[in-house]
Amino acid sequence: MNTTLVRNADVYAPEALGRRDLLLGGGKVLWIGTDAPDLPAAFGAETVDLGGHRLLPGLVDGHVHVTGGGGEAGFASRVPAPMLSRYTRSGVTTVVGLLGTDDVARGTRELVAQVNALREEGLSAYGLAGGYHLPPATLTGSVRADLAFIDCLIGVGELAISDHRSSQPTLEELLRVASEAHVAGLMTGKAGIVHLHLGDGPRGLDLVRRALDESELPARVFNPTHVNRRKALFEEAIELARRGCTIDITAFPVAKGEDAWSAADALVRYLDSGAPRGRVTISSDAGGCLPCFDAQGRVSSMDVGHSGALLETLRELLARGVPLEDASPAFTGNVADLLRLPSKGRIAAGADADLVALDDDGAVAHVFAGGRLHLRDGAVVRHGTFEKMDPQDNRSN
């Protein structure tokens, strides 16, 4: 069993525990305490001294286009799949992959294959069945069977509403797919959520409010994302969080004067609102196209999401004086709770050994995924299968 002794860590679990040592083995945190045990030489344990760096759970990115997104401006606009270290350089140790606008040329088979590839490379990876449109893209012919029989699929998404690219789902159609996801979650212990892409449409979250008012489905099933893309939409989302939904903020770029909140602004507003602190998460939309459309619905410009936006947001929050124990759950424990991943998102004996150490400037110094070092002293030590063939391999996020 590969064992590592992590010494002199300033642990945020996410609560501040102070200086601690940790023993990692078999992909788990085996022990955490203030006085590291003397290990027999036969253990062959490696020692990593963090020198007092802050240690927090590995970031859980709940919205990632692991196969690449895009496609709104033709086949040449399809975004390539991000490689392993694109995640780990950013402190991300768990990803949830999904399909977006293009759920035809890219499908569930490719998604499942890429999720499994990331698992083989040492990351924790999961996926969502379906995509923007209804009927949902599936492998088995139904959402419920996909979640029941395909291990890595844990929910549905990103299903688009209030967007000109959506399939314009009706309330009845939304309730049907949500009930499939919910029942599959009950059968399997999986998340069973419907991750809802929110566009710029004026209907906003009306469809979700109606679903809560007119059905017996629990609010936790409905998980709207991109809720900070319009300021009024964000206020709607906060009210849904009060009703039991978990809302997802996207760490996308926001221009000065734009009718949107940056991820850092949105989280601060959420925390100040008094809404339940466990019902907000932040994701990156990594690998996804971030398009702007003209009045005719054509792409006028585009950007690409990246997992590094999570760490940039966390660093901004810390610079603004938000305590790490208040900021980090939106990137870690809250996501894990929503996704029903009890061994993720916190540091404790028995939890998965997914850990991120931040240096004094808030940059990633070390990353452990499943107890194995992927980043050491800021340098990648574990690469994806094809990264050595990529001439941009050493370019940072």
Catalytic residues, by residue number, are 285
Contacting residues for 388 by C-beta, under 8 A, at least 6 apart:
none
Scan for tokens 């940059």, then name that residue. 363
DSSP state of 103: -
Element holding 30 (H helix, E strand): strand 28-33
Which sign does the torsion angle of CA 168, 108, 382, 26 carry? Answer: positive
Burial environment of residue 288 by CB neighbours within 10 A (0 to 12, 13 to 18, 19 or more)? buried
**CA proximity to 306, closest of 198, 397, 369:** 397
Residue 292, amino acid: C
Residue 167, amino acid: S
Pair 108, 101: CB distance under 8 Å: no
CB atoms within 10 A of CB 255: 7
